[in-house]
């Protein structure tokens, strides 16, 4: 399991056997997405839960790397994190 996936699952309280919903459409997530991609000039910080969100492949392709949609993704993720506190 990738380090950022483990960080996400631990912070959100998921187990490897749990259904992890896409934070955009609630179908099953396949990817843990970096909202601010380090490789594309984004966050220089290590992987932190505030920058990681679960997405299905369709939403990852549709929303993942579109700069104008980052505020939308951050808002959705912030609400999900509050729900899991």
Specify the higher pLDDT residue, 12 or 38: 12
Q: How many CB atoms lie within 10 A of CB 51?
A: 21
Buried (b) or exposed (e) across 18-47, using 16+ Cβ within 10 A? eebbbbbeeeebebbbbbeeeeeeeeeeeb
HSE of 51, CA atoms in CB hemisphere, 13 A:
12
Instruction: Kindly state the average pLDDT of the residues 31-54.
Output: 81
For residue 6, pLDDT beyond 70: yes
Which pLDDT band, with edges at 50, 70 and 90, does 45 fall under?
A: low
The C-alpha atoms of residue 28 and residue 44 are separated, in whole angstroms, by 29
pTM given for the model: 0.87
Is the model's pLDDT at 42 over the cut of 60? no
Structure tokens at 59: 């939403």
């Amino acid at each position: 399991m990738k380090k950022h996936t483990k960080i996400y699952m631990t912070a959100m309280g998921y187990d490897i056997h749990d259904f992890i919903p896409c934070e955009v459409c609630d179908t099953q997530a396949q990817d843990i997405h970096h909202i601010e991609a380090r490789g594309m000039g984004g966050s220089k910080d290590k992987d932190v839960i505030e920058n990681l969100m679960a997405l299905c492949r369709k939403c990852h392709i549709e929303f993942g790397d579109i700069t104008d949609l980052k505020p939308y993704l951050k808002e959705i993720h912030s609400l999900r994190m509050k729900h899991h506190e």
